[in-house]
Amino acid sequence: MSSHPDPKDQGRALLAESTLDEARLLEVLEGGLARGADWGDLYYESAQSEVVAVDDGRVRTASRNARQGIGVRVVAGDKQGFAHTDALELPRLRAAADAARAIADGRGAGTADVGNGELARLRFPAGLPDRYPVDRSPLALPVDQKVGALARLDARCRALDPRVQQVMAQVSTSQQTVLVLRSDGSAAWDVRPLVRIDCTVIAKNEVGKLARGSARAGGRHDVERILDDATLESLATEAVRQALVNLGARKAPAGVFDVVLGPGWPAVLLHEAVGHGLEGDFCRKGTSAFSGRIGERVASELCTIVDDGSIPGDRGALNIDDEGTPAECTTLIENGRLVGYMQDRLNASLMGMKPTGNGRRESYAHITLPRMRNTYMRPGNDDPQDIIRGLKRGIYAVDFGGGQVDITSGKFVFEMTEAYLVEDGKIGAPLEGATLIGHGPSVLERVVAVGNDLEYLKAQGVCGKEGQSVPVGVGQPTLRVNGMTVGGSEV
């Protein structure tokens, strides 16, 4: 049994600093449930974060942020009124609730169950999972230990090769404490740690050519785990290796190629190509290329894709989502067939489906949306080496920068940051960065091989949607996709 503190006790202590408690907040929420409201929720958040960074050979940046606030949402049919404030005083909270309820006045079915702010109405579900047990906040680690680790990382990168010109690395830690109070009286606390270390190296060769390499680690766990010598050594080795590979890279070709995607982070392709298009809001409104296609075949039968919030310690892990729904593992595509969408409460209820624990928000100041957690493809049977050997002429893409998708047309892009030309099954020259472009609803139909080497714990993604950023994971085994467009500059 873990001895770490109960989230409820931690949260209540924070709330008490503002002379608030759950009963007063329930009263505020009920004040917002005007005639016509169907339901509502109130979200209290208190979060601390810290970034310490080395740049230009000096650990010269440390910044710490504290934020707290409350968001109130009132729902009537498909309409949402939302208001938030960082002033944790009852009159301001009541004003926010009034602003939120203006939208619902007389418009919905009016099914909200409004009580009188009695604490007895509150129900805290028992048996919630405990996926990120830490004994203390990652911010409790003294700053000098982060400084020391970054200085060692910087020195190690420079020692590995004289061509290393610059090292930019940072340790980011945060802890978010949230309370979700719903108008049906259910309530839940969650305390979410998140840690991350990033290392980027710029190398320069004899003729002045510059190239970049990067590596990263993290998750919802203790900060010590990303600052130990083994982790620092592997980050330095990986970032320097990639920069040196890229120093030797030649211009990528332009045209249509068969592509082998390496395991792990290249699954950003799944996130962009199919993940966003399977979010409940787009599917409900008919604006996604995947709208109304449940039961249809949308991928090769080699593909089974899930969105999983239940991986302990993972960057995308959640005990509950930001609406209090327990986070689970949601199957999206099973043996090539579309079987499910990712849902928050609003879209699930309007579509007659169940919430899947995908209701997420960046902070109290943002409205909840259906969002991904860790989206990955389950492993197949192929040996990854055989997949590469089977490629007559094509591209082997190992690492990527960011990606982007147009949900409606299904077009997606992402940028290769480490890739090689493959000829006659042999890995050849490294290629300078180029964009890959494809069409989400058809790209997975051209998956012809799936490796047995699933990697889904290392990705450190940040997903953006409607101006909100949330941490996510992605994963996949080695994959071969035929006929992708590679945006190089050599015809």
Partner 1 sequence: MIDATLLGDLLAYAKQHGATDGDAIGVGAVSTEVRVRMGSVETSTRSESHEVGLRVFVGDRSAMVSSNDLRPSALRELADVAIAAAKHMDADAESRVARNDELAEAPTELELYDAAVLGIGATDLIELARAAEDAALQADARIANSEGGEASAGESAVTFVTMGGVQRERRSTSVGVVAVPIAAQDGAMEVDWWYASRRRLDQLPDPTGIGRKAAERALRRLGARGMGSGTMPVIFEAPVASRVLGDFVSGLSGERVARKASYLADQLGKPVAAADLALWDDPLLPWGPASRAFDGEGFASRRLALVQGGVLQAFLTNLRTAARIGCAHGRNASRGVGGAPGVAPTHVHMANGSHDLAGLMREVGRGLLVTSTMGHGTDLIRGSFSQGATGLYFENGEVQYPVSEITVAGDFGDLMRGIVLRGDDLDPHRGVSAPSFVVDKLTIAGAG
Segment lying near partner 1 (by CB under 8 A), choices 29-37, 117-125, 217-225, 433-441: 433-441
Q: Which of residues 108-127 bind partner 1 (CB under 8 A)?
A: none
CA dist 263 → 25, 270, 474 (Å): 46, 12, 10
Quick check: 337 and 366 in contact, CB under 8 A?
Answer: no
Query: Smallest distance from the beta carbon of 26 to partner 1, in angstroms?
Result: 21
Query: Smallest distance from the beta carbon of 452 to partner 1, in angstroms?
Result: 31
Does residue 84 interact with partner 1 by CB under 8 A?
Answer: yes
Sequence-ordered list of residues with C-beta below 8 angstroms from that of 212, at least 6 positions apart, any chain: 200, 201, 202, 203, 242, 243, 246, 417
Nearest to 320 by CA among 361, 282, 348: 361
Does residue 491 interact with partner 1 by CB under 8 A?
Answer: yes
Quick check: 70 and 84 in contact, CB under 8 A?
Answer: yes
Query: Smallest distance from the beta carbon of 462 to partner 1, in angstroms?
Result: 13
The Cα 191–Cα 214 span in angstroms is: 30
Task: Enter the tokens of residue 119.
Answer: 């604490």
State the DSSP code for 7. Answer: H
Q: Which of residues 277-316 bind partner 1 (CB under 8 A)?
A: 285-287, 289
Segment lying near partner 1 (by CB under 8 A), choices 57-65, 189-197, 321-329, 455-463: 57-65
Q: Which is nearer to partner 1, 221 or 366 (CB)?
A: 366
Give helix 90-101 / helix 22-32 axis angle, nearest 10°. Answer: 30
Rg for the chain, CA atoms, rounded? 24
Sequence-ordered list of residues with C-beta below 8 angstroms from that of 1, at least 6 positions apart, any chain: none
Q: Which of residues 372-401 bind partner 1 (CB under 8 A)?
A: 401
Would you call 270 helix, strand, or coil by DSSP? helix
Q: Which is nearer to partner 1, 48 or 374 (CB)?
A: 48
Q: Which is nearer to partner 1, 319 or 460 (CB)?
A: 460
Q: Which is nearer to partner 1, 234 or 408 (CB)?
A: 408
Instruction: Tell me the backbone φ, ψ of residue 10, rounded to 5 degrees.
Output: -60, -45
Of positions 111, 205, 335, 408, contacts partner 1 by CB under 8 A: 408
Q: Which of residues 88-107 bind partner 1 (CB under 8 A)?
A: 96, 99-100, 102-103
Does residue 350 interact with partner 1 by CB under 8 A?
Answer: no
**Helices and strands, counts by H and E, the chain:** 10, 21
Q: Which is nearer to partner 1, 25 or 289 (CB)?
A: 289
Segment lying near partner 1 (by CB under 8 A), choices 63-71, 215-223, 307-315, 380-388: 63-71
Q: Which of residues 210-269 bind partner 1 (CB under 8 A)?
A: 210-212, 252, 254-256
Task: Measure the CA angle with vertex 420, ends 414 and 421; round to 5°.
Answer: 110
Q: Which is nearer to partner 1, 477 or 488 (CB)?
A: 488
Segment lying near partner 1 (by CB under 8 A), choices 26-34, 52-60, 337-345, 352-360: 52-60
Segment lying near partner 1 (by CB under 8 A), choices 123-131, 331-339, 379-387, 430-438: 430-438
DSSP alpha helix (H) spans, 335-476: 345-351, 384-389, 440-443
Q: Which is nearer to partner 1, 232 or 434 (CB)?
A: 434
Task: Measure the CA angle with vertex 335, ends 329 and 336; round to 5°.
Answer: 105
CA torsion, points 473, 474, 477, 478, in degrees to nearest 10? -120
Q: Which is nearer to partner 1, 213 or 336 (CB)?
A: 213
Q: Which of residues 19-38 bind partner 1 (CB under 8 A)?
A: none
Instruction: Tell me the backbone φ, ψ of residue 433, rounded to 5 degrees.
Output: -45, 140
Q: Which of residues 449-478 bind partner 1 (CB under 8 A)?
A: none
Of positions 189, 265, 414, 420, contacts partner 1 by CB under 8 A: 414
Give helix 22-32 / helix 7-17 axis angle, nearest 10°. Answer: 80
CA–chain centroid gap for 291, Å, is 23
Going residue by residue from 185 to 204, which x/- string records binding to partner 1, judged by CB under 8 A?
A: -----------------x-x
The Cα 246–Cα 49 span in angstroms is: 33
Segment lying near partner 1 (by CB under 8 A), choices 61-69, 122-130, 175-183, 185-193: 61-69
Q: Count residues binding partner 1 (CB under 8 A).
A: 80
Does residue 40 interact with partner 1 by CB under 8 A?
Answer: no
Going residue by residue from 153 to 182, which x/- string records binding to partner 1, judged by CB under 8 A?
A: ------------xx-x--------------
The full length of the chain comes to: 491
Does residue 82 interact with partner 1 by CB under 8 A?
Answer: yes
